[in-house]
């Protein structure tokens, strides 16, 4: 396929959950949507489901913990489109051996950081040359309330007891990445934001979240604004 002037958006971990809904919302906003997932069967099925809604959605295989998978995805986007307009770093995990700081297993913390933080950093770094070819590149990092160090210091906060070190640290680190990358790219036409979908019922929390994925993404205007089509302001909100 030759280079295109249509908006191209790439959402990681989009075969289900918030990523799937993000893919739907961004595709509905008029982008060619590259739906990334590490499981080809699940990813192709998810892309096919969105295609039945008349959306231009294509599957791209991506495991954010594997460098060769990330570079293959970037090479494919380069070959097919020559640029990228929106990257949504959504892929994320929890780990059953993660937990309070006194006893969270170090190997579990490492796994969570590898996916939620290092995976997003590595993916963004690999996609940056393509985002620089966009008129208005956007990077959206899917963070969480639980990444706020300020809120964790408040014993009255509604999630104050949710002290899951690896996961919370991964989102705090992701926020740091958003702020620093936004600063670094501020004169290059690329905006970087962290977004917080809120506590949403998905496989990640065994569907204990208090809102639907639609409420977590489509019902939150900030999400699409960060992706660019409704973006009016400047600077980042990471
Ligand atoms: P989910 O339904 O479990 O979806 C997670 C997605 O990430 C899946 O597509 C999963 O793929 C993918 N993924 C995991 N490891 C990956 C890897 N190494 N490479 C590529 N993809 C990988 O969870 P979710 O709730 O929608 O979570 C999406 C994002 O929202 C996460 O970053 C999460 O931290 C964040 N978030 C969630 C909530 C909430 O309440 N749910 C709140 C705040 C933030 P597989 O299907 O192959 O496992």
Contact 131, 164 (CB under 8 A): no
Ligand 1 atom showing the smallest separation from residue 145 Cα: 43
Provide CB contacts within 8 A for 219, sequence distance 6+: 211
**145 in a domain, yes or no?**
yes
Q: What's the first-to-final CA gap in the chain, in angstroms? A: 35
Measuring from atom 2 of ligand 1, which residue has the nearest CA? 17
pLDDT band at 1 (very low <50, low <70, confident <90, very high): very low
Rounded to the nearest angstrom, the distance between the alpha carbon of 13 and the centre of ligand 1 is: 6
Instruction: Give nearest CA residue, ligand 1 atom 3.
Output: 204
Neighbours of 183 (CB within 10 A): 13
In-domain check, residue 147: yes
12 C-alpha to ligand 1 centroid (Å): 9
Number of domains in the chain: 1
Per-residue pLDDT tens over the stretch 16-64: 999 999 999 999 999 999 999 999 999 999 999 999 999 999 999 999 9
Residue closest by Cα to atom 20 of ligand 1: 63
Q: Which residues line ligand 1 (CB under 6 A)?
A: 12-13, 15-19, 37-39, 42, 62-65, 90-93, 115-116, 119, 142, 144, 197, 199-200, 202-205, 209
Catalytic residue numbers, as ranges: 167, 171
The tokens for 5 are 């002037």
Given pLDDT bands bounded at 50, 70 and 90, which one contains residue 234? very low
177 versus 217: the higher-pLDDT residue is 177
Q: What is the pTM of this model?
A: 0.95
pLDDT > 90: what percent of the chain? 88
The pLDDT, as a whole number, for residue 5 is 52
Is residue 36 situated within a structural domain? yes
Pocket test for ligand 1, best of 15, 19, 73 (most atoms within 8 A of CB): 19
User: What is the whole-number distance in angstroms between the Cα of residue 187 and the centre of ligand 1?
Assistant: 31
In a domain, 231, yes or no: no
The answer to the question of residue 234 being in a domain is no
The CATH number of residue 149's host domain is 3.40.50.720
Q: Which domain range does residue 165 map to?
A: 8-225
| Ligand 1: residue whose CA is nearest its atom 33 | 92
Model confidence over 171-211: pLDDT tens digits?
999 999 999 999 999 999 999 999 999 999 999 999 999 99
* Distance of CA 3 from the midpoint of ligand 1 (Å): 30
Residue 87 lies in a domain: yes
Residue 160 confidence (pLDDT): 97
Average pLDDT score, the chain:
92
How many whole angstroms from 91 Cα to the centroid of ligand 1?
Answer: 4
Res 222: pLDDT? 74
Q: Grade residue 223 by pLDDT with cuts at 50, 70 and 90.
A: confident
The residue contributing the CA closest to ligand 1 atom 21 is 13
226 confidence band (pLDDT: 50, 70, 90): confident
Per the listing, tokens 């949403």 go with 200
b/e per residue, 158-177, with b = 16+ CB within 10 A? Answer: eeeeeebbbbbbbbbbbbeb
Task: Please tell me the predicted confidence (pLDDT) of residue 193.
Answer: 96
| Contact by Cβ (8 Å): 146, 86 | no
Q: At which residue do the structure tokens 């019902």 appear?
A: 219
Residue 1 is assigned to a structural domain of this protein: no
DSSP code for 218:
T
Report residue 229's pLDDT band, with 50, 70 and 90 as the boundaries.
low
Residue 206 lies in a domain: yes
């Amino acid at each position: 396929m030759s280079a295109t002037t249509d908006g191209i958006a790439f959402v990681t971990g989009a075969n289900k959950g918030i990523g799937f809904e993000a893919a739907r919302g961004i595709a509905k906003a008029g982008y060619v949507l590259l739906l990334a997932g590490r499981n080809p069967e699940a990813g192709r099925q998810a892309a096919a489901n969105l295609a039945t809604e008349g959306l231009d959605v294509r599957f791209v295989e991506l495991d954010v913990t594997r460098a060769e998978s990330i570079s293959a995805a970037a090479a494919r986007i380069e070959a097919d489109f020559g640029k990228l307009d929106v990257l949504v770093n959504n892929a994320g995990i929890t780990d059953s051996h993660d937990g309070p700081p006194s006893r969270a297993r170090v190997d579990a913390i490492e796994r969570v950081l590898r996916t939620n933080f290092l995976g997003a950093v590595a993916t963004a770094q690999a996609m940056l040359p393509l985002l620089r070819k966009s008129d208005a590149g956007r990077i959206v990092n899917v963070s969480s309330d639980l990444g706020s160090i300020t809120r964790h210091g408040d014993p009255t906060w509604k999630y104050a007891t949710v002290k899951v070190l690896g996961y919370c640290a991964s989102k705090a680190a992701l926020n740091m990445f958003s702020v620093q990358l936004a600063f670094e790219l501020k004169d290059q036409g690329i905006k970087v934001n962290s977004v917080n979908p809120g506590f949403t019922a998905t496989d990640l929390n065994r569907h204990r979240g208090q809102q639907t994925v639609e409420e977590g993404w489509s019902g939150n205007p900030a999400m699409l604004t960060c992706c660019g089509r409704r973006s009016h302001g400047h600077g980042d909100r990471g």
